[in-house]
Amino acid sequence: MTLGPLPETDLTRHRRLREQGSLDRADLEAILDAGFVCHLGVVVDGRPLVVPTVYGRDERQLYVHGSVASRSLAGGIPVCVTVTHIDGLVLARSVFEHGVNYRSAMIHGEARKVTDPEEKLEGLRLLTEHAAPGQWSYARQPSRKELAATTLLALSLEEASVKIRTGAPDDGDGPDAELGLWAGTLPLTSAWGAPEPDPALPSEILIPGHIARREGTRHG
> Facing residues of 104 across strands?
84, 163
Q: Which CB sits closer to its own copies, 5 or 78?
A: 78
- Looking at beta carbons only, is 116 or 196 nearer to its own copies? 196
Q: Find the shortest distance in angstroms from Cβ 59 to its own copies.
A: 23
Q: Which residues contact 160 (CB under 8 A, 6 or more apart)?
A: 6, 12, 28, 105, 106, 107, 108
Q: Report the residue number, 4 or 202, with the smaller CB distance to its own copies.
A: 202
- For residue 214, state whether it binds its own copies (rule: CB under 8 A): yes
Interface with its own copies, residue 177, by CB under 8 A: yes
User: CB of residue 125 vs its own copies: minimum separation in angstroms?
Assistant: 9
Nearest-approach distance from CB 167 to its own copies, in angstroms: 9
Q: Does 219 bind its own copies (CB under 8 A)?
A: yes
Residue 198 neighbours by CB under 8 Å, 6+ apart: none
Contact flag: residue 6 with its own copies (CB under 8 A): no
For residues 57 and 108, which CB has a smaller minimum distance to its own copies in the complex? 108
Is residue 92 a contact point for its own copies (CB under 8 A)?
yes
Q: Maximum Cα–Cα distance for the chain, whole Å? A: 68
d(CA 31, CA 87): 12
Q: What is the 3-state secondary structure (H, E, C) of 149-173?
A: CCCEEEEECCCEEEEEECCCCCCCC
Q: Judged by CB under 8 A, which of 4, 74, 75, 200 binds its own copies? A: 200
Among 150, 156, 158, 165, binds its own copies (CB under 8 A): 150
Identify the residue among 3, 30, 37, 158 touching its own copies (CB under 8 A): 37
Q: Does 75 bind its own copies (CB under 8 A)?
A: no
Q: Is 144 in the site for its own copies (CB under 8 A)?
A: no
Q: Distance between alpha carbon 121 and the CA centroid of its chain, in Å? A: 21
Size of the site for its own copies (CB under 8 A): 93
Region at 126 (left for phi over 0; alpha for psi -120 to 50; beta for the rest)? alpha
User: Does 81 participate in binding its own copies (rule CB under 8 A)?
Assistant: yes
Per the DSSP assignment, residues forming a β-bridge with 47 are 44
DSSP string of 73-92? -SS-EEEEEEEEEEEEEEE-
